[in-house]
Amino acid sequence: MYTLPNLPYAYEALEPHIDAETMKIHHDKHHQAYLDKLNAALESQVELASLPVEDLLWQFEEHQAKLPAEVATALRNHGGGYANHNLFWEIMSPEGPRQAVGELTKALDATFGSFADFQAKFVDVATKHFGSGWAWLAIDQTGKLAVYSTSNQDSPLMQQHRPLLGVDVWEHAYYLKYQNRRPDYLAAIWQVLDWQKIEERYLQAVGK
Ligand SMILES: [Fe+2]
């Protein structure tokens, strides 16, 4: 059985950029629902359910080939939703540096030119993503930083990429406060990302 991690801060901690009501519904209802459906789908898959969900997604294709279709779909959608939200809460905070720090700064500069150039690309990808999904900064299979989006709850782990930063662009992430104005939400998100946490994920991913 997987469990719902507590938010590492209060619902209102990310105000005014992300409102308390959105955080409460997002964590207590949406994240809980992904978790419940993942647990239900894996109820008869005791061995799989004993593994970290990130491992299941990393080897999704192999699992998909062996699992009943509806279980594989549930793993993709609800396992992805569970893992993506775990990451999302972790890389935000009411404090923390609002720009890259340490080793990741150098890597972002080398890949995108500057932090501002990275931000512009990320916002562009996130804004243009059609429908529900996520925008990502991830390390690809060759060890390079990459910015892209995925649909629904697909995780970079499914293509053996290591996600460093994920921003939820489902309407449930911003509609109460920003309604249809996704660009306003994407302008505000930089005020709540914790680049110390993202740096820690980067160092872990590159083995430093
Ligand atoms: Fe979400």
Span 149-158, pLDDT tens digits: 999 999 999 9
Fold match flag (19-90 vs 102-205)? no
Q: What is the dihedral of CA 32, 35, 36, 39, to 10 degrees?
A: -160
**What pLDDT is attached to residue 130?**
97
Structure confidence at residue 25 (pLDDT)? 98
Q: What is the pLDDT at residue 208?
A: 73
pLDDT (tens digit per residue) in 183-197: 999 999 999 999 999
Work out the percent of the chain whose per-residue pLDDT is above 90.
99
Q: Which whole number is the average pLDDT over 85-107?
A: 97
List, as ranges, residues with CB under 5 A of the ion ligand 1.
Answer: 168, 170, 173
Domain positions in the chain: 19-90, 102-205
Question: What's the confidence (pLDDT) of residue 39?
Answer: 98
Strands 145-151 and 133-139: antiparallel
Query: Residue 104 Cα, ligand 1 centroid: separation in angstroms?
Result: 26
Residue 113 CA to ligand 1 center (angstroms) comes to: 30
Name the CATH superfamily, with its identifier, for domain 19-90: Fe,Mn superoxide dismutase (SOD) domain (1.10.287.990)
DSSP β-bridge partners for residue 123: none
What's the 208 CA to ligand 1 centre distance in angstroms? Answer: 30
* Superfamily of domain 102-205, CATH level 4: Iron/manganese superoxide dismutase, C-terminal domain (3.55.40.20)
Rounded to two decimals, the pTM is 0.97
Q: Name which of 119, 123, 98 is nearest 108 in CA terms.
A: 119
Q: What is the mean pLDDT of residues 161-187?
A: 98
